[in-house]
Structure 1
């Protein structure tokens, strides 16, 4: 799988696979990032692409020292399954 790119101009993390683009849309306000929507094309469904995208995006959030608001239900569920990322949640 490819590398996760932070496309700041479009406010989204991107992962291109097999000619398709999976995205995690966000809003940044100071040191808090809100993940608004995860989009994985149907052609990539069931391949773990959404999980790889979210994990890679959260790793970048951690590296940048940001806190997260998981507005997206997919991201909320992913963090529930991976509690080692719960420290990123904004209080």
Structure 2
């Protein structure tokens, strides 16, 4: 995560079912919900003026840290989160067991 984003607070806007990260008066967010006893991450959105600045990555990292702090499992339904987890397998420890197969190497036929 870029140093300038590390100290920005992650907000849990539970009424809207989304985590939010505000940077320079613009808010990136990740929609979530409860599913199968875990926290399902549905969609990540970064405003155009924040794209390419590492805000999406910072949001994912902050949400993963929050999930871990809450001692929850997650269901990564958001393609951006799934992509991040494939590049950072150390975070796959939070993935609900039924969804870990998404991160297994494909068997060759």
- Normalized against structure 1, the TM-score is what? 0.95
Instruction: Point out the structure with max Rg over C-alpha.
Output: 2
Structure 1 segments of 4 or more deviating over 4 A?
none
Q: Which one has a larger percent strand, Structure 1 or Structure 2?
A: 1
Is 1:75 the counterpart of 2:73? The answer is: no
CA root-mean-square deviation: 1.1
* Equivalent runs, 1:31-42 vs 2, <5 Å: 31-42=37-48
* Equivalent runs, 1:1-91 vs 2, <5 Å: 1=5, 2-29=8-35, 31-91=37-97
After superposition, the C-alpha distances for 1:40-86 in whole angstroms (9 at most, x for unaligned) are 00100000000000100110000101111100000000011111100
- Normalized against structure 2, the TM-score is what? 0.80
Structure 2 gaps of 5+ residues are 98-109
Structure 1 gaps of 5+ residues are none
Shift of 1:9: 1.2
Aligned length: 91
Shift of 1:29: 3.6
